[in-house]
């Protein structure tokens, strides 16, 4: 299943061995009932956002207080929940369940601003940072800022204790690696020599420490402009005294990912490209000491009977309605067999983690009713392979 690309980053958290009791390893529902964080990962376009919302909905149906967080700047989560908008503050979704369902869409800049205010020594220091031109550009454009702020929001929600379970909808697979890497990257950045140098509060110190540093800044000034360099130096110096708080926070985030109460769930479709992508991500997690603890295969053509039973069906009269039904069943079975063959290696790779197959439905999931139908398939109401009384899409 390994399909690496050059120089892909990997996370560094170390996980204790996940629970291995019979019940906790063989039912997807056990993740909903027993874990405090569920991270949904997968390729773009496989229904990952809908699956994340379904996890949170199922937790609410089982009496838990659940919050689902989307990192994706698109409106998919709000659409899946039938809402007009979502903000950086959790919004409660009312419904006929004994627990509670909350949702939010990450605002990286708002989260970063809150973090600055938390660790600044004074309101004046915080406002100086927030007003800095470099800071404003940094929070909107720096690679990895969104992923780090997502990790920060996850940590905030998990640690404040307001929710029994937090479900995270990550970006597409290879960007999800940035999400896992974000705490370590911040720690590495805070320890970099250039950061430490620019953090020093006086220009006189720079003259004493390194003439070369001054020459570097003068060269940058000629290219980028003196105002930009002054803003950059002011930006770094404004963080004086705050870096330890950021560093400790990043360490705590890594530990959160490694806890036994955190579960990673892969979401894929039965297409070869998305299955290969899911296998690649499973490899990256394993290399990081983390484990895939659930697999959701979305948009599967269901098996309505065993292959042997399908092939033993009698021939129907030519041109009859029965013949059309039998041919349709043969077509469904052939597609299902191809999909199962595509999935076979991935299923073995994540074993003994539970695997849920969600059939290709004939509706768009855009409200709580649609999510409830998804939940019935994901958590076993309709049988192992998604057969039964669901609403399925017809073959073209």
- pTM of the predicted structure, to 2 decimals: 0.75
In sequence order, the 6+-apart residues with CB closer than 8 A to the CB of 296 are 28, 40, 51, 265, 266, 267, 268, 355, 356, 358, 378
Stated as kind and residue range, the H or E segment containing 34 is helix 28-34
- Percent of the chain surpassing pLDDT 90: 30
Average per-residue pLDDT for the chain: 75
- Buried b / exposed e across 345-371, counting CB within 10 Å, b at 16+? ebeebbeebbbbbbbbbeeebebbebb
- Asked whether the predicted pLDDT for residue 188 surpasses 80, the reply is no
Count the alpha carbons within 13 Å of 144 in the hemisphere toward its beta carbon: 11
Rounded Cα gap, residues 232 and 84, in angstroms: 39
Q: With bands split at pLDDT 50, 70 and 90, how would you rate the model's confidence at 173?
A: low
Please check the confidence at residue 201 and state whether its pLDDT lies above 80. no
Residue ranges covered by each domain of the chain: 27-117+153-181+260-378
Which of 55, 39, 66 minimizes the C-alpha distance to 291? 39
Asked if the model's pLDDT at residue 330 lies above 50, the reply is yes
Distance (Å, rounded) from C-alpha 362 to C-alpha 378?
Answer: 16
Q: Which pair of structure tokens corresponds to residue 314? A: 């009698």
22-73 pLDDT per residue, tens = 333 348 999 999 999 999 988 888 999 899 999 999 999 999 999 999 876 5
pLDDT band at 366 (very low <50, low <70, confident <90, very high): confident
Determine phi and psi for 103, rounding to 5 degrees: -150, 150
Going by C-alpha positions, the residue among 313, 332, 331 that lies closest to residue 322 is 313
Distance CA 385, CA 267 (A): 16
Superfamily the domain 27-117+153-181+260-378 falls into: P-loop containing nucleotide triphosphate hydrolases (3.40.50.300)
The set of residues, in sequence order, having a beta carbon less than 8 Å from that of 142 and lying 6+ positions away, is: none
State the DSSP H helix or E strand holding residue 206, giving kind and residue range, or none if neither.
helix 203-209
Q: Which pair of tokens denotes residue 145? A: 């800022």
d(CA 244, CA 251): 11
pLDDT band at 1 (very low <50, low <70, confident <90, very high): very low
The CA-to-CA distance between both ends of the chain, in Å, stands at 30
Q: Please tell me the predicted confidence (pLDDT) of residue 312.
A: 73
Per-residue model confidence (pLDDT) at position 22: 35
Question: Which 3 state secondary structure label does DSSP give 248?
Answer: helix
Task: With cut-offs at 50, 70 and 90, classify the pLDDT of residue 386.
Answer: very low
């Amino acid at each position: 299943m390994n399909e690496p690309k050059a120089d892909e980053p990997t996370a560094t958290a170390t996980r204790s061995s996940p629970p291995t009791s019979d019940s906790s390893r063989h039912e997807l529902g056990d993740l909903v009932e027993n874990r405090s964080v569920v991270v949904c990962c997968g390729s773009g376009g496989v229904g990952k956002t809908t699956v994340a919302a379904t996890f949170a909905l199922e937790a609410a149906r089982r009496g838990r207080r659940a919050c689902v967080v989307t990192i994706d700047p698109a409106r998919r989560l709000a659409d899946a929940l039938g809402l007009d908008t979502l903000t950086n503050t959790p919004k409660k979704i009312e419904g006929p369940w004994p627990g509670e369902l909350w949702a939010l869409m990450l605002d990286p800049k708002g989260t970063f601003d809150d973090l600055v205010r938390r660790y600044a020594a004074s309101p004046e220091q915080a406002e100086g940072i927030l007003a800095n031109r470099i800071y404003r550009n940094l929070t909107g454009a720096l690679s990895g800022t969104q992923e780090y702020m997502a990790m920060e929001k996850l940590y905030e929600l998990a640690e404040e204790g307001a929710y029994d379970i937090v479900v995270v909808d990550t970006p597409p697979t290879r960007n999800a690696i940035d999400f896992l890497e974000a705490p370590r990257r911040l720690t590495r950045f805070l320890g970099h020599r250039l950061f430490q140098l620019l953090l020093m509060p006086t220009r006189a110190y720079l003259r004493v420490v390194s003439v070369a540093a001054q020459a570097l800044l003068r060269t940058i000034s000629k290219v980028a402009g003196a105002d930009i360099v002054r803003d950059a130096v002011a930006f770094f110096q404004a963080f004086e005294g705050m870096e330890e708080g950021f560093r400790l926070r990043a360490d705590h985030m890594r530990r959160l990912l490694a806890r036994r109460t955190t579960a990673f769930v892969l979401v894929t479709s039965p297409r070869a490209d998305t299955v290969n992508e899911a296998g690649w991500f499973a490899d990256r997690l394993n290399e990081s000491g983390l484990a895939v603890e659930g697999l959701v295969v979305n948009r599967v053509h269901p098996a309505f009977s065993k292959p042997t039973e399908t092939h033993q069906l009698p021939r129907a009269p030519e041109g009859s309605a029965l013949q059309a039904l039998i041919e349709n069943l043969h077509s469904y079975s052939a597609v299902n067999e191809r999909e199962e063959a595509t999935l076979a290696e991935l299923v073995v790779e994540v074993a003994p983690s539970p695997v849920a197959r969600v059939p290709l439905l004939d509706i768009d999931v855009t409200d709580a009713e649609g999510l409830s139908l998804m939940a019935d398939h994901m958590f076993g109401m309709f049988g192992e392979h998604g057969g039964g009384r669901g609403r399925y899409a017809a073959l073209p």
